[in-house]
Amino acid sequence: MAARQRRTERDQRRRSYGQNVLVASGVVRSFLSTAEVHADQLVVEPGAGTGVLTRALAHAGARVWAIERDPVWARRLRRDMETAGLAQRVQVIEGDLRYVRLPDAPYRVVSSPPFGLTTALLCRLLDDSARGPWRADLLVQREVACKRAAAPPTTLRSAAWAPWWTFELGETVDRRAFRPVPRVDAAWLTVRKREPSVLPNWLSKQFADVLRPAWTPPVPSVRADPPSG
């Protein structure tokens, strides 16, 4: 029996940080063609990874907070931005996307986050509507994107966000656009802040608790087949 291949330090980091890194530049170009990224927008990018989105956002004129918790990749990204002459536009922040302080100024989010942290990131961005972004574009597992964009909401969490946010399912991205290649395809999920919101901002932090006692997910409609004969 062949000996089991030893994991490299890079493999260990990928396992620890749940990294499936976007590497396909065509996916980024397609996104930017419709994403309305303008000069001097403040863009927060949790899970910056190797910087394929970071560089494109900076070249589009955005001011980017690139958040990366892998210290090796954070140092590499900082060096790459300096080499590319983008250091004035990109602030590389080494830290966990679940805990890094969010901007006080209006901001949007563009991110291809670790799939395992998608829900944690959404909670961080959306639970407190007063502190959240005005828009978030997230490249997540397609199943997750479909679930969040379902109308009416099919989960308690989505229902609790609905008075303050809208969700739109975007383009599907083939799993081969990532390294290592995950088992499932991804899709863009666009979240926009409602203006005005349906309910006041002060209620957003507790709204899931308000809904929980009475929450019953909607029953999918089933179309009956016509009688035969």
pLDDT tens figures, 14-29: 555 557 899 999 999 9
Note the Cα 202 to chain centre separation in Å.
Answer: 24
pLDDT tens figures, 129-185: 999 999 999 999 999 999 999 999 999 999 999 999 999 999 999 999 999 999 999
CATH, residue 152: 3.40.50.150
Question: Starting at the edge strand that comes first in sequence, how are the strands of the sheet with 42-46 ordered?
Answer: 90-94, 63-68, 42-46, 108-111, 135-141, 186-193, 165-173
- Which tokens go with 122? 């959404």
In the prediction, which pLDDT does 143 show?
A: 97
pLDDT confidence band for 216 (50 / 70 / 90): confident
In the prediction, which pLDDT does 2 show?
A: 42
Q: Is residue 103 part of a domain?
A: yes
In the prediction, which pLDDT does 160 show?
A: 97
Q: Is residue 84 part of a domain?
A: yes
- Which tokens go with 182? 């995950």
Rounded distance between C-alpha atoms, residue 12 and residue 51, angstroms: 20
What is the rounded average pLDDT for all residues in the chain?
90
* Mean local confidence (pLDDT), 47-72: 95
How many domains does the structure of the chain reveal? 1
Q: Is residue 85 part of a domain?
A: yes
Q: Is residue 9 part of a domain?
A: no
Axis-axis angle for helices 52-59, 71-83 (nearest 10):
30
Q: Is residue 105 part of a domain?
A: yes
